Amino acid sequence: MPEEITDESEAAERIGTFLSPEGIIMMSLAIFLDGSEFLVNYIPVIGQTISVIIDIIALLFIGGWMLFRSGIIRAPKRVTARVGKAVKWAQRLKWLRPLFIVIEFIPIVGSILPLWVVVVYLELKYA
């Protein structure tokens, strides 16, 4: 159930996070990395190797940014608390972002799913 925004300044702050230079740069980087990873998947023989190299580069940049921004790479307490009200296993959600990062390294699956974009979105929205 989406949280109702009662204050206009809170809504502007949430939108401002995505439109900030940091948000635009990181989301553009994530889209570029996921798109290039999807495209190199069609290169015979060395496509998967290039895909893993792209994932390592993405992990360095996006993972480093997440660590620098929030101090830790995990789902924030607001998300786990919000989900915890509806679902009993809220503690498992703290591994959501690291799980997406691990899935990115699985051949084919990680190349098809835009998980770097999802990780950046979750970091911008909830951290």
- Judge whether 23 and 78 are in contact, CB under 8 Å: no
The Cα angle at residue 28 between residues 65 and 76, in degrees rounded to 5 = 40
- Judge whether 125 and 17 are in contact, CB under 8 Å: yes
CA-based nearest residue to 55, from 119, 110, 109, 97? 110
- Looking at residue 124, what is its pLDDT? 84
How many structural domains is the chain composed of? 1
pLDDT average, residue stretch 81-106:
62
Q: Give the chain's mean pLDDT.
A: 76
Does a structural domain hold residue 4? no
Burial (CB count within 10 angstroms: exposed 0-12, middle 13-18, buried 19+), residue 3: exposed
Position with higher pLDDT, 95 vs 36: 36
| pLDDT tens digits for range 36-62 | 988 998 888 888 889 888 988 998 899
Does a structural domain hold residue 68? yes
Whether pTM > 0.85 for this model: the answer is no
Structural domain including 62 reads 9-126
Does a structural domain hold residue 1? no
Does a structural domain hold residue 106? yes
Does a structural domain hold residue 119? yes
Does a structural domain hold residue 96? yes
Residue with tokens 């660590």, as numbered in its chain: 67
